[in-house]
Homo-oligomer: A and B are copies of this chain.
Amino acid sequence: MDDIGQKDGPEQRGLSIRAARIQDVAKLADVSTATVSRALATPERVSPEARARVLEAIVKTGYVPNPAARTLRSQKTYMVLVVLPDLANTFFSKILRGIEETLFEAGYGMIISDLDGSPEKEAHFAAFTAAGRVDGAILLNGHLFGQSREGEGKPARISIPLVALCEAIPGADIPQIEIDNRAAAFRMTQHLASLGHRRIAYVSGPAANILERERFQGFKDGLETAGLPFDPALVLPGDYTIEAGMRAGQDLVARSDRPTAVFCTSDEMAIGLMRTLFSAGLKVPDDVSVAGFDDIEFAAVAEPSLTTIHQPRRELGQAAASALIDLLQGRPSPKRIRLETELVTRDSVAPL
Contact = CB atoms under 8 A, between A and B. Distances in A.
B77 A68 contact: yes
A155 interface: yes
A74 to B, nearest CB: 9
A213 interface: no
A130 B72 contact: no
Contacts of A128: 109
A130 B112 CA distance: 21
Given A67-B132, A131-B64, A131-B67, A97 B87 contact: yes
A132 B64 CA distance: 9
A254 interface: no
Contacts of A157: 17, 62
A interface residue count range (under 10 / 10 to 19 / 20 to 34 / 35 or more): 35 or more
Given A68-B71, A303-B275, A109 B90 contact: no
A234 interface: no
Interface in A53-104: 59-62, 64-69, 71-72, 77, 79, 87-90, 92-94, 96-97, 100-101, 104
A262 interface: no
Contact of A111 (B60, B65, B71, B111): B111
Nearest to A15: B156
A165 interface: no
A62 B154 contact: yes
Contacts of A242: 297-298, 301
From A60, A298, A300, residue with most partner B Cβ within 10 Å: A298
A238 to B, nearest CB: 15
A246 interface: yes
B60 A153 contact: yes
Contacts of A272: 301
A163 to B, nearest CB: 18
Nearest to A268: B297
Contact of A61 (B66, B93, B111, B155): B155
A1 interface: no
A246 B301 contact: yes
A303 B271 CA distance: 9
A316 to B, nearest CB: 13
From A65, A93, A278, A301, residue with most partner B Cβ within 10 Å: A301
A110 B109 contact: no
B66 A72 contact: yes
Interface string A106-123: 000111111010000100
A19 interface: yes
A309 interface: no
18 contacts: A16-B156, A19-B130, A20-B155, A60-B152, A66-B131, A68-B68, A68-B71, A79-B111, A96-B112, A97-B116, A104-B121, A109-B111, A110-B111, A271-B298, A271-B301, A275-B303, A298-B298, A302-B303
Interface of A: 10, 12, 15-17, 19-20, 59-62, 64-69, 71-72, 77, 79, 87-90, 92-94, 96-97, 100-101, 104, 109-114, 116, 121, 124, 127-128, 130-133, 152-159, 242, 246, 268, 271-272, 274-275, 278, 297-298, 300-303, 305
